[in-house]
């Protein structure tokens, strides 16, 4: 038997499992770095940005409407 006097073969399976775990972890990190937008809450951020833009548009229309009325009153 070739491994009768050796104890090195007992660590092959745990070492291979640990090495596979580490390499798959590195692969997962690489995938996350390549495509980070799948984990970011972009839908929520875009919805909040859209709501802020709509509020800003409404505010600007109200401001322009009120300044237009004030300029009409200044002419009197």
pTM (global) more than 0.85: no
Q: Are 26 and 32 a contacting pair, CB within 8 Å?
A: no
Q: Please tell me which residue, 54 or 37, carries the higher pLDDT value.
A: 54
pLDDT computed for residue 69 by the predictor: 55
Residue 19 contacts residue 13 (beta carbons within 8 Å): no
Instruction: Look at residue 70 in the predicted model and tell me its pLDDT.
Output: 52
Q: What is the pLDDT of residues 13-46, one digit of tens each?
A: 899 999 999 999 999 999 888 887 777 788 888 9
Q: Provide the pLDDT for residue 13.
A: 87
How many other CB atoms are found less than 10 A from the CB of residue 65?
10
DSSP string, the chain: -TTTT--GGGGHHHHHHHHHHHHHHHHHHHHHHH-GGGTS-HHHHHHHHHHHHHHHHHHHHHHHHHHHHHHHHHT-
């Amino acid at each position: 038997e070739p491994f009768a006097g050796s104890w090195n073969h007992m660590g092959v399976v745990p070492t291979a499992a640990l090495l596979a775990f580490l390499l798959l972890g590195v692969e997962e990190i690489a995938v996350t770095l390549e495509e980070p937008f799948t984990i970011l809450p972009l839908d929520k951020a875009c919805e909040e940005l859209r709501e802020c833009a709509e509020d800003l548009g409404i505010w600007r229309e109200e401001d322009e409407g009120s300044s237009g009325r004030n300029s009409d009153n200044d002419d009197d």
